Chain A
C-alpha cells in the first residue's frame, strides 16, 4: 500500500502548520469550549486561543471533535429540534 497524493498533501499541510511550541490534545480539550463559543458567536480569535486554532489545524482528531462540539452546541441552543422539549437555557457564561 503506497502513500496517496491526498495523504502526502495532508502531511505537507501539517508540516507547514507545525510550530516550535504547540499545545497537546489534553490542553486543547480543556480550552476548546471557549474557542467554539467565540467562533459560533462570530468573534475574532483572541490571542490566548491562537494555540487552539493552530492545534486544530494539525490534529484531525481534535478538529473532528471541535466540529462535533459546534454541532452539539447548536442542538443545545434548539433542544426541541433534538427531541428534548423544554430544556431551559438560563445560563450564560459568568
Chain B
C-alpha cells in the first residue's frame, strides 16, 4: 500500500540510505504518478508512454531540490509542483522545438497598419497605436522579440534557449519591457481600466 508521510518523515526517509529510502522513493513515485496522470490526461500533446520518463526526471529534480523545501506546504504538494514543471517543460519543448524564433519574429511584428487600421473603435485604435509606438521606438530589439514570442505562446524555455539566455534572464527582459510599456501608457493618459476594456469591452 502506498503510504503518505508527514513532511519531516518524507525528508528524513529520502535522505536516508537503504530500504527506508527505497520505500519512500517507491511511494513518492506512485503518488506523483497519480498527480501527473490526472493533471496531464486531458492534454492533446500528452501520451501515456511519456509518463515513465516524466516520473524519472521528476524524482531526480525533487531529490536535487530537497534542501529548498521550506515546509510551507505538504511535501507531496511541493513535489507534485516540481513534477508538473518537469512534465510541462518537456511537453512545451516538444511543441516548440521546430519553431524558429527568428522566423516567428520575421513573420510577424507590431504593425499598427495591419493590426488596427480598420478598427472601427477610435479609442481602442489609439490605445493600440500608442502601445505599438512605445514598443517600436522605446524597447530594444530583444525586448520586442520576447514580447512578440510570448504573446504568440512560444515556450519560455525555447525562447531563452534560442536567445542564448537563462529563463530568469528572459523573465527580466520581459519584465523591463512591460514596466517601460506601462509607464509610457500611463504617461499617455491610460489607466488600468482602459487596458482591460480594449478588446473585452
Show the binding face of A for B, using Cβ within 8 Å.
1-3, 5-16, 18, 20, 22, 24-26, 29-34, 36-37, 58, 60-61, 64-65, 68-69, 71-76, 79, 82-84, 86-94
B134-193 with Cβ < 8 A to chain A: 147-148, 151-153, 155-156, 167-168, 171-172, 175, 178-179, 181-182, 185, 192
> For the complex, would chain B's binding face be called helix, strand, loop or mixed by DSSP majority?
helix
Find out whether the CB atom of A12 lies under 8 angstroms from the CB atom of B195. yes
User: Given A9-B199, A76-B31, A92 and B6 touching (CB < 8 A)?
Assistant: yes
Q: Does B5 touch A at the CB level, under 8 Å?
A: yes
CB distance from A24 to the nearest CB of B (A): 5
In the complex, the number of residue pairs spanning A and B with C-beta atoms less than 8 Å apart equals 180
Find out whether the CB atom of A8 lies under 8 angstroms from the CB atom of B73. no
Contacts of B133 in A (CB 8 A): none
Find out whether the CB atom of B115 lies under 8 angstroms from the CB atom of A8. yes
What are the interface flags for B93-111 relative to A under an 8 Å C-beta threshold, 1 for contact and 0 otherwise? 0000000000000011011
5 closest Cβ pairs, A-B complex = A72-B35, A75-B38, A33-B73, A68-B39, A33-B77
Q: Report the bound CA distance from A65 to B78 in whole Å.
A: 12
Contacts of B39 in A (CB 8 A): 68-69, 71-72, 75
Find out whether the CB atom of A68 lies under 8 angstroms from the CB atom of B156. no
Which of B38, B107, B108: most chain A CB closer than 10 A?
B38
Q: Which of B30, B40, B68, B127 contacts A30 (CB 8 A)?
A: B68
Find out whether the CB atom of B85 lies under 8 angstroms from the CB atom of A65. yes
Among residues of B, the one whose C-beta sits closest to the C-beta of A71 is: B39
How many chain B residues touch A (Cβ–Cβ < 8 Å)?
69
Among residues of B, the one whose C-beta sits closest to the C-beta of A64 is: B88
CB distance from A71 to the nearest CB of B (A): 4
Q: Report the bound CA distance from A9 to B115 in whole Å.
A: 12
Find out whether the CB atom of B38 lies under 8 angstroms from the CB atom of A72. yes
Find out whether the CB atom of A13 lies under 8 angstroms from the CB atom of B195. yes
CB distance from A49 to the nearest CB of B (A): 9
Find out whether the CB atom of B81 lies under 8 angstroms from the CB atom of A3. no
Q: Which of B76, B153, B172, B198 contacts A12 (CB 8 A)?
A: B198
User: Given A20-B179, A90-B3, A29 and B108 touching (CB < 8 A)?
Assistant: no
Among residues of B, the one whose C-beta sits closest to the C-beta of A40 is: B77
